[in-house]
Structure 1
Amino acid sequence: IIQDQTYDYPASFYEPDADELAFIQFSSGSTGDPKGVMLTHHNLIHNTCAIGTALAIHSKDSFLSWMPLTHDMGLIACHLVPFITGINQNLMPTELFIRRPILWMKKAHEHKASILSSPNFGYNYFLKFLKNEPDWDLSHIKVIANGAEPILPELCDEFLKRCAAFNLKRSAILNVYGLAEASVGAAFSKIGKEFVPVYLHRDYLNLGERAVNVSKEDQNCASFVEVGQPIDYCQLRISDETNERVEDGIIGHIQIKGDNVTQGYYNNPESTEKALTSDGWVKTGDLGFISESGNLVVTGREKDIIFVNGKNVYPHDIERVAIEMEEVDLGRVAACGVYDQKTQSGEIVLFVVYKKSPEKFAPLVKEIKKHLYKRGGWSIKEVLPIRKLPKTTSGKVKRYELA
Structure 2
Amino acid sequence: MPETSVSMPPQGARKPWLKSYHPSVPAHIPPLEHASIGALFDDCCRRFSEHGAYACMGSTLSFRALAAEAEALAAFLQSLGLEKGDRVGVMMPNVLQNPITLFAVLKAGLTVVNINPLYTARELKHQLADSGAKALVVLENFAATVEQALPGTAVRHVLVTSLGDCLGFKGVIVNAVVRHVKKLVPRWSLPGHVPFRQALAKGRRLALSPVAVGPSDIAFLQYTGGTTGVSKGAILTHANLLSNMTQLGLWLETAFVTRPRPDRIVFLCALPLYHIFALTVNALMGLKLGGLNVLIPNPRDIPALVKEIGQNRITIFPGLNTLFNALLNNADFRTLDHSSLALTFGGGMAVQRPVAERWEAVTGCPIKEGYGLSETSPVATANRLDLADFTGAIGLPLSSTDVDIRDEAGLSLPLGETGEICIRGPQVMKGYWNMPEETARAIFPDGFFRTGDIGFMDENGLVKIVDRKKDMILVSGFNVFPNEIEEVVMTLEGVQECAAVGVADPHSGEAVKLFVVRRRPELTEDEIRAHCAKHLTNYKRPRHIEFRQELPKSPVGKILRRELRDIKTDA
TM category, shorter: 0.7 to 0.9
The residue aligned with 1:180 is: 374
Q: 1:132 to 1:159 in 2, by over 3 A?
A: closer
Q: 1:76 to 1:133 in 2, by over 3 A?
A: closer
Q: 1:2 to 1:133 in 2, by over 3 A?
A: same
In the TM superposition, residue 303 of structure 1 has moved relative to its aligned partner by: 1.4
- Alpha-carbon distance between aligned partners in 2 of 1:324 and 1:173, rounded to the nearest angstrom: 17
Q: 1:2 to 1:278 in 2, by over 3 A?
A: closer
Structure 2 unpaired stretches of 5+ = 1-57, 76-206, 566-571
Q: Is the 8 A contact 1:49 1:81 kept in 2?
A: no
Q: Is the 8 A contact 2:552 2:559 kept in 1?
A: yes
The residue aligned with 2:323 is: 122
* Deviations 1:62-109, CA, capped at 9 Å, x for gaps: 3222111121111111111111333333223343653434336424xx
- Alpha-carbon distance between aligned partners in 2 of 1:126 and 1:135, rounded to the nearest angstrom: 11
- Alpha-carbon distance between aligned partners in 2 of 1:117 and 1:396, rounded to the nearest angstrom: 14
The residue aligned with 1:210 is: none
Of 433, 442, 460, which aligns to 1:266?
433
- Alpha-carbon distance between aligned partners in 2 of 1:158 and 1:118, rounded to the nearest angstrom: 15
Q: Is the 8 A contact 1:67 1:94 kept in 2?
A: no
The residue aligned with 2:294 is: 90
After alignment, is 247-256 or 127-136 more displaced?
127-136
Are positions 1:375 and 2:528 aligned together? Answer: no
- Alpha-carbon distance between aligned partners in 2 of 1:64 and 1:115, rounded to the nearest angstrom: 6
After alignment, is 384-393 or 313-322 more displaced?
384-393
Q: 1:303 to 1:96 in 2, by over 3 A?
A: closer
Are positions 1:147 and 2:330 aligned together? Answer: no
- Over the residues paired in the alignment, what is the CA RMSD in angstroms? 2.9
Hey, which bits of structure 1, 4+ residues long, moved more than 6 A? none
Residue 384 of structure 1 aligns with an amino acid whose one-letter code is E
Higher strand share: 1
- Alpha-carbon distance between aligned partners in 2 of 1:302 and 1:147, rounded to the nearest angstrom: 18
Q: 1:155 to 1:256 in 2, by over 3 A?
A: same
- Alpha-carbon distance between aligned partners in 1 of 2:409 and 2:340, rounded to the nearest angstrom: 47
Q: Is the 8 A contact 2:494 2:519 kept in 1?
A: no
In the TM superposition, residue 186 of structure 1 has moved relative to its aligned partner by: 0.4
Structure 1 unpaired stretches of 5+ = 198-224
Are positions 1:348 and 2:512 aligned together? Answer: yes
Q: 1:140 to 1:99 in 2, by over 3 A?
A: closer
The residue aligned with 2:271 is: 67
* Deviations 1:175-215, CA, capped at 9 Å, x for gaps: 21111111110011222211243xxxxxxxxxxxxxxxxxx
After alignment, is 90-99 or 21-30 more displaced?
90-99
Larger of the two Rg values belongs to structure:
2
Are positions 1:312 and 2:479 aligned together? Answer: yes
The residue aligned with 1:106 is: 310
Of 196, 204, 213, which aligns to 1:16?
213
Q: Is the 8 A contact 1:44 1:183 kept in 2?
A: yes
- Alpha-carbon distance between aligned partners in 2 of 1:301 and 1:133, rounded to the nearest angstrom: 33
Of 152, 163, 170, which aligns to 2:363?
163
Residue 147 of structure 1 aligns with an amino acid whose one-letter code is G
Residue 79 of structure 1 aligns with an amino acid whose one-letter code is A
- Alpha-carbon distance between aligned partners in 2 of 1:28 and 1:241, rounded to the nearest angstrom: 24
Q: Is the 8 A contact 1:145 1:173 kept in 2?
A: yes
In the TM superposition, what are the counterparts of 1:244-259 in structure 2 within 5 Å? 244-259=411-426
TM-score (normalizing by structure 1): 0.79
Residue 302 of structure 1 aligns with an amino acid whose one-letter code is K
Residue 59 of structure 2 aligns with an amino acid whose one-letter code is I
Are positions 1:389 and 2:551 aligned together? Answer: yes
Q: Is the 8 A contact 1:120 1:146 kept in 2?
A: yes
In the TM superposition, what are the counterparts of 1:291-370 in structure 2 within 5 Å? 291-330=458-497, 333-340=498-505, 342-343=506-507, 345-353=509-517, 364-370=524-530
Residue 351 of structure 1 aligns with an amino acid whose one-letter code is F
- Alpha-carbon distance between aligned partners in 2 of 1:304 and 1:120, rounded to the nearest angstrom: 18
Residue 146 of structure 1 aligns with an amino acid whose one-letter code is G
Residue 371 of structure 2 aligns with an amino acid whose one-letter code is Y
In the TM superposition, residue 254 of structure 1 has moved relative to its aligned partner by: 0.6
Residue 293 of structure 1 aligns with an amino acid whose one-letter code is N
Residue 381 of structure 2 aligns with an amino acid whose one-letter code is A
Find the residue that maps to 1:329 and give its secondary structure. strand
Are positions 1:51 and 2:227 aligned together? Answer: no
* Deviations 1:334-376, CA, capped at 9 Å, x for gaps: 2111233x446112122234799xxx99x94454344434431
Find the residue that maps to 1:154 and give its secondary structure. helix
TM-score (normalizing by structure 2): 0.57
Q: 1:371 to 1:83 in 2, by over 3 A?
A: same
Q: How many residues align?
A: 359
The residue aligned with 1:2 is: 59
Q: 1:133 to 1:328 in 2, by over 3 A?
A: closer
Residue 66 of structure 1 aligns with an amino acid whose one-letter code is A
Residue 310 of structure 1 aligns with an amino acid whose one-letter code is G
- Alpha-carbon distance between aligned partners in 2 of 1:312 and 1:24, rounded to the nearest angstrom: 35
